[in-house]
Amino acid sequence: MESKTIKKIGVLTSGGDAPGMNAAIRAVVRAGFYYNLEVYGIYRGYEGMINDDIRKMDSRSIAHVLERGGTFLKSARSQEFRTPEGRKKAYDNLRKHGIDALVVIGGDGSLTGAHLFYKEYGIPAVGLPGTIDNDLFGTDLTIGFDTACNTAIEAIDKIRDTATSHDRLFFIEVMGRDAGFIAINAGIGSAAAAILIPEKKMPVESLIERLKSREKAKKESNIVIVAEGGKSGGAAEIAEKVQKILPTYDIKVTILGHLQRGGAPSAFDRTLASKLGVSAVEGLLQGKYDVMVGVINNKVVFTPIKRAIVDDKKVDEEELRIAAILST
């Protein structure tokens, strides 16, 4: 599709919130003003587009948001936008406000929505990878991942104190849906005895062997990190299996859950979000549509949204190797 003249852009956050989303919105709004565009905030993701919850942003709208977790535009996982009728309503509302282009901040579901919308209605969109899961192809890291890993590690350190005091084995479940990125990073950063992820199955027998050899090495505490949705089951399920085989072990389970989604974004996430927010606006003005903007080897890169959502982002085998060496 040929380049359009863009005067008004809409920005929205969609799907699971991630620390750094506010920094990304701020960067989009500020870059928009810098390039003399009107910027509209669309509330609750695609829901706000359908229900016309769209408000013009001014410089006050983005005051003191950079350092805050969550998303002040709010977020939702819109079911209605998955239907042609929902998307038609959304399109009519964008027309009503004269919005020519979109910046969509979210994970794969949100970017899928932007791609479909572009295909059906030709609304130029640039996606920003905003998810703690880090599971998007086309960027080394997603906005929110670094903060979520820091939060997880801080929590695991605290659990380590009590685990050591009682000589306990803890199974700690971290988020990541179908991806083991948080688990690997938090596991390496917290000296985990083992890391169980959806991408690689670890038989219970191997886990037992690992725990026994650590017992021989007189390790005082054992933390096993389990990514939710792992092939071997969730933390509670695995803990139960292990308890049956090792009845004398004092085992506890902690699910970190949504704790990992909140909190002030790290310095890294603030910078990443700011860089990507400005690049998204510049991309739109250069006629880069239906793409996701990410960072690969420290360079800003635009990847077709279709690839970002379909291509598989692989876990780093080298990190897995390092984790295995360090946990013996």
Binding site as annotated, residues for substrate: 131-133, 168, 175-177, 228, 252, 258-261
108 near ligand F6P, rule: CB under 6 A: no
Using the contact rule CB under 6 A, the part of the chain among 131-139, 164-172, 246-254, 267-275 near ligand F6P is: 131-139
- Nearer Cβ to ligand F6P, position 12 or 211? 12
| Residues 221-240, mask of contacts with ligand F6P (x by CB under 6 A) | -------x------------
Amino acid 18 reads: A
Using alpha carbons only, what angle is made at residue 262 by residues 259 and 264, rounded to the nearest 5 degrees?
135
Using the contact rule CB under 6 A, the part of the chain among 94-102, 169-177, 242-250, 283-291 near ligand F6P is: 169-177
> Using CB under 6 A, which of 78, 131, 150, 151 touches ligand F6P?
131
Using alpha carbons, select from 141, 138, 148, 222 the residue that is nearest to residue 182.
148
> Using CB under 6 A, which of 47, 100, 133, 146 touches ligand F6P?
133
CA dist 283 and 126 (Å) reads 7
138 near ligand F6P, rule: CB under 6 A: no
133 is annotated as an active-site residue: yes
Burial class (CB in 10 A: 0-12, 13-18, 19+), 301: middle
- Nearer Cβ to ligand F6P, position 40 or 171? 171
308 near ligand F6P, rule: CB under 6 A: no
DSSP track, 287-317: T--SEEEEEETTEEEEEEHHHHHHSPPPP-H
- 52, 53, 58, 133: the catalytic one is 133
Q: Nearest 5°: phi and psi at 246? A: -120, 75
- Nearer Cβ to ligand F6P, position 131 or 190? 131
Pair 11, 40: CB distance under 8 Å: yes
Expressed in percent and rounded to 5, the helix, strand and coil fractions of the chain are 45, 20, 35
- Nearer Cβ to ligand F6P, position 76 or 194? 76
Q: Nearest 5°: phi and psi at 274? A: -65, -45
The site for ligand F6P, by CB under 6 A, has a size of 10
Residues making contact with ligand F6P (CB under 6 A) = 16, 107, 131-133, 175-177, 228, 261
Residues noted as catalytic: 133
